[in-house]
A and B are shown apart, each in its own frame.
With several copies, the nearest count.
Chain A
Amino acid sequence: MKYIIAIIKPSRLDDTHAALTEIGISGLTVTEVRGYGRQRGQTEIYRGAEYSIAFVPKVKLEIAVDDKIADDVVDTIRKAAHTDKIGDGKIFILDLKDALRIRTNEMGVDALN
């Protein structure tokens, strides 16, 4: 199994979520995060001065998936989150040793969907 972490633009969350649902992903977890990268934070005004904000708001998706569909999931996220502008974000893929559904005690791939 793979543990996929995607950092995307908040404004792409709804579409990405919809696209994932379409390919049958039935579970994921979302966190509000702040990102630093090539996309620079905007500046804020405060009483006659501009302050630059190092971090920009991003959204992190975490999705545990079976190895078989990992590529498909990555591809789907990539397409849905894509705006072709700096700051579109990254997808990271980690190995997932095991998973467990708390309600039923199912393990492994069975826990995921």
Chain B
Amino acid sequence: MTINSCHVFRRLPAVLVAMLFPSLAFAATDSGDTAWILTATALVLFMTLPGLALFYAGLVQSKNVVSVLMHHFALACILSVTWVVLGYSLAFSGDGAWVGDLGGLMMANITTETLNGTIPESVFAAFQMTFAIITPALIIGAYVERMNFAAVLAFSVAWLLVVYAPVTHWVWGGGIMASWGVMDFAGGIVVHTTAGTAALVIALVLGKRVNFPQSVAPPHSPVLTMIGASMLWIGWFGFNGGSALSAGQGAGMALLVTHIAAAIGALVWMFIEWFRFGRPSVVGAATGMVAGLATVTPASGYIGVPGGIILGLGGGVICYYAVDLIRGKLKIDDSLDVFAVHGVGGILGSLLVAFLALEAFSGGGLAEDVTATGQFMVQLSGVIVTAIWTALATFVILKIIGMFTALRVSKDVEVEGLDLAQHGERGYHNT
């Protein structure tokens, strides 16, 4: 997804065509690369619809299951439109340091001629759109069971434009962090640091659920959560593997290390639970899987098998204790642990990539003349600047929206459940 990665993994046939017919080269899409990114686009959308939606929906109470599904569905729709109209342009048009320009409004420049590397620009824009959907959708986990639907929509649209699109531009759109040489293959900073930080801020601004922490109900459906987790795992192949923007060695290795980190993250969590409680749970294993995946994401295109193993281990352990800390000790109601799992995992991976990309760990190596410590400082700066901007902007957006509409539903509605009150539906009927 970065320009770097494209160079590293540029595939042969395009080169071949260029050598044979220089005049045609500019127009050549590679059908194999295109096939894979079309597929990856489907896979990443699948992560949100219904993957993440089910993962989260299973964790809440049954009186809020429809509202969680609706949040995901409505966000997928409204963020797609936002992306088409404005977001894509802010992220990928022009070469400002801090934000793109308005040259790509309404995706007006995309035709059946324009390319991105070896794939049609339409495919690139659609693939990126699926990232612009899932990032704000991740934040849903922080505000389930209490946030007002109108505020959910307004917040997500504003956040996409003020946080996600600029940060994407910084890192992947040729902006400031790209010039620093920040390495973020598939979104440790762009996706997970932003979503995690925003989750923490929104949890603090909204406040706790009425029954938190005394009598939080356990997940109403581990079945739904497990189905969703499985889809996230599958979809993540498209997320990380697709970020190579081609179907070659880069995508293959990214998929392999992604899979390993997921498996190990899940096992770590499972064994900790087994050790502590004597009973490993499926929700725990699924959570560990997500932790492993979030952690490997920024590094997935730069590392080898050992890197995948280490990130799975690190992500599993550290996110487990982060959940304990944030929800257990600090009693912050980031309800489905978005910061502790995605934020912490994404940040961890974004920092460790500086070392794990080294050839000593079978990685692809750093850019010339860059040391691991040097790269680490660059990564750290990237994470910090992103977290600060995200926290500030999230806070301000919420305050502004709070002037126009209630951020939370009333206590009565919260007690009765959001499903009937906000959506006129119940998740499960008797008839």
Contact = CB atoms under 8 A, between A and B. Distances in A.
Indicate if A touches B (C-beta under 8 A). Answer: yes
Interface of A: 11, 14, 32, 34, 42-51, 53
Contact of A45 (B215, B281, B327, B430): B281
Contacts of A51: 216-218
A46 B320 contact: no
29 contacts: A11-B415, A14-B215, A32-B430, A42-B420, A42-B424, A44-B218, A44-B420, A44-B424, A44-B425, A45-B273, A45-B281, A45-B423, A45-B424, A45-B425, A46-B216, A46-B219, A47-B283, A47-B327, A47-B337, A48-B272, A48-B276, A48-B284, A48-B320, A48-B323, A49-B328, A50-B277, A50-B424, A51-B216, A51-B217
Contacts of B272: 48
Contacts of B425: 44-45
| SS class, residues of chain B in contact with chain A | helix
Contacts of A14: 215
Interface in B96-133: none
Interface residues on B, range: 20 to 34
A75 B284 CA distance: 42
B359 interface: no
A50 B279 CA distance: 10
A48 B215 contact: no
B415 A48 contact: no
B284 A47 contact: yes
A48 B279 CA distance: 11
A46 B328 contact: no
B71 interface: no
Contact of B328 (A42, A44, A48, A53): A48
Interface in B47-63: none
B208 interface: no
Contacts of B426: 44
Given A47-B284, A47-B337, A51-B217, 17 more contacts: A11-B416, A14-B215, A44-B424, A44-B425, A45-B277, A45-B279, A45-B283, A45-B423, A46-B218, A48-B272, A48-B273, A48-B276, A48-B284, A48-B324, A49-B328, A50-B277, A51-B216
B287 interface: yes
Nearest to B273: A45
B281 A46 contact: yes
Interface of B: 215-219, 272-273, 276-277, 279, 281, 283-284, 287, 320, 323-324, 327-328, 337, 415-416, 420-421, 423-426, 430
Given A11-B415, A11-B416, A32-B430, A47 B216 contact: no
Contacts of B273: 45, 48
Nearest to A49: B328
Nearest to A32: B430
Nearest to B279: A45
B81 to A, nearest CB: 22
A42 B139 CA distance: 30
B424 A47 contact: no
A32 B430 CA distance: 9
Nearest to A43: B424
Nearest to B276: A48
A43 B424 CA distance: 6
Nearest to A59: B430
Contacts of A45: 273, 277, 279, 281, 283-284, 423-425
Given A11-B416, A14-B215, A42-B420, A47 B279 contact: no
Contacts of B320: 48
Contacts of B324: 48
Contacts of B276: 48
Given A11-B415, A14-B215, A32-B430, A47 B323 contact: yes
> Which of A32, A48, A53 has most B Cβ within 10 Å?
A48
B366 to A, nearest CB: 36
B425 to A, nearest CB: 6
A47 B287 contact: yes
Nearest to B426: A44
A55 to B, nearest CB: 9
A64 B182 CA distance: 69
Q: Which of B283, B423, B430 has the most CB of A within 10 A?
A: B430
A13 to B, nearest CB: 9
